[in-house]
Chain A
Amino acid sequence: MTDRKTFDRQSVRADFPILQTEVRGKPLTYLDNAATGQKPNAVIEALNDYYAAENSNIHRGVHYLSEMATDAYEATRAKLAGFLHLPDPDEIIFTRGATESINLIAHGFTETILQPGDEVLITHMEHHANIVPWQIACQRTGAELKIVPVDDRGVLDMEAYSRLLNERTKLVSVVHCSNSLGTINPVKEIIAQAHAIDVPVLIDGAQSVPHAPVDVAELGCDFFVFSGHKIFGPTGIGVLWGRREWLERFPPYQSGGDMIERVDFDGTTYKAIPGKFEAGTPHIAGVIGLSAAIDYLDNLDRDGALAHEQALLETATEKLSAIEGLRILGTAPHKAAVLSFLIDGIHPHDIGTFLDADGVAIRAGHHCTQPLLKRYGVPATARASFAFYNDFADVDRLAEAVLRMQRFFG
Chain B
Amino acid sequence: MSGDPLQQLYQDILLDHNKRPRHYGLLVQHSHHAEGYNPLCGDRMELTLQLEGDRITDAGFEAAACAICQASASIMTESLPGKSLAEVAQLEARMQSLLEDKETTDPEADGDLAALAGVSQFPARIKCATLPWHTFKRALKQETGGDHDLGAAQTE
Q: List the interface of chain A (C-beta within 8 A of B).
A: 345-350, 353-354, 357, 364-366, 370, 373, 379-380, 408-410
Q: Are A347 and B10 in contact (CB under 8 A)?
A: no
CA distance A162 to B15 in the complex (A): 49
**Of B99-107, B108-116, B122-130, the one touching chain A:** B122-130
Contact A350 B42 (CB under 8 A): no
Interface-lining segment among B28-36, B63-71, B76-84: B63-71
How far is the CB of A381 from the nearest CB of chain B, in Å? 10
Query: Which residues of the other chain, B, contact A348 by a CB distance below 8 angstroms?
Result: 41, 66
Contact B15 A409 (CB under 8 A): yes
Contact string against A for B residues 46-62, beta-carbon threshold 8 Å, 1 for contact and 0 otherwise: 00000000000000000
Given contacts A353-B6, A357-B6, 8 further A-B contacts (CB under 8 A): A347-B70, A349-B41, A350-B66, A354-B10, A364-B41, A365-B42, A408-B10, A409-B15
Q: Which of A345, A357, A380 contacts B41 (CB 8 A)?
A: A380
B1-33 contacts to A, CB under 8 A, are: 5-6, 9-10, 15, 19
**Residues of chain B at interface, number, CB under 8 A:** 21
CA distance A357 to B41 in the complex (A): 18
Contact call A347/B65, Cβ cutoff below 8 A: yes
- Report if B86 contacts A (CB, 8 A): no
Residue of A nearest to B7 (CB): A408
A350 with B67, Cβ < 8 A, contacts A366-B42, A408-B10 known: yes
Is B143's CB within 8 Å of the partner chain A?
no
* Interface contact B128-A349, CB-CB below 8 Å: yes
Whether A354 contacts B66 in the complex (CB less than 8 A), given A349-B41, A365-B40, A365-B42, comes out as no
Query: How far is the CB of B124 from the nearest CB of chain A, in Å?
Result: 7
- 20 of the cross-chain contacts (CB-CB < 8 Å) are A345-B19, A346-B67, A348-B41, A348-B66, A349-B66, A349-B68, A349-B125, A349-B128, A350-B10, A350-B67, A353-B122, A353-B125, A354-B6, A354-B10, A357-B6, A366-B42, A379-B64, A408-B10, A409-B15, A410-B15
B44 within 8 A of A: yes
Asked if A347 and B66 sit within 8 Å, CB to CB, the answer is yes
* Residues from chain A with Cβ under 8 Å of B122 in the complex: 353
Report the 8 A-B pairs with minimum CB-CB distance, sorted nearest first. Answer: A379-B42, A349-B66, A347-B66, A380-B42, A357-B6, A349-B41, A350-B67, A350-B66
B37: min CB distance to chain A, Å: 10
B23 → chain A closest CB, angstroms: 19
Residues of chain A within 8 A (CB-CB) of B67 are 346-347, 350, 409
| Chain B residues in 8 Å Cβ range of A357 | 5-6
Contact A409:B65 (CB < 8 A) given known A353-B122, A380-B41: no
Assess whether B10 is in contact with A409, with CB atoms less than 8 Å apart.
yes
- The complex places the Cα of A340 from the Cα of B152 at a distance, in Å, of 28
Q: Chain B residues near A408: list those with CB within 8 A.
A: 6, 10
> How many Å lie between the Cα of A409 and that of B71 in the bound state?
14
Least CB separation from B70: chain A residue: A347
Q: Name the residue on A nearest B9 (C-beta).
A: A353
Tell me if B43 counts as interface (CB < 8 A to partner A).
Answer: yes
Contacts of A345 in B (CB 8 A): 19
The residue in chain B whose Cβ has the minimal distance to the Cβ of A345 is B19
A181 to B78, CA, bound (A): 39
How many angstroms from the CA of A373 to the CA of B64 in the assembled complex?
14
Report the minimal beta-carbon distance from B68 to chain A, rounded to whole angstroms.
7
* A354 nearest CB neighbor, chain B only: B6
Report the minimal beta-carbon distance from A303 to chain B, rounded to whole angstroms: 38
CA gap between A380 and B6 in the complex, in Å: 21
Roughly how many angstroms separate A349 CA and B40 CA in the complex, as a whole number?
10
Q: Closest B-chain residue to A381, C-beta based?
A: B42
Tell me the complex Cα distance, A78–B33, Å.
59
CA distance A345 to B68 in the complex (A): 13
In the complex, residue of chain B having the shortest beta-carbon distance to the beta carbon of A404: B6
**Bound form: Cα–Cα A350–B70 in Å:** 11
CB pair A353 B124 closer than 8 Å: yes
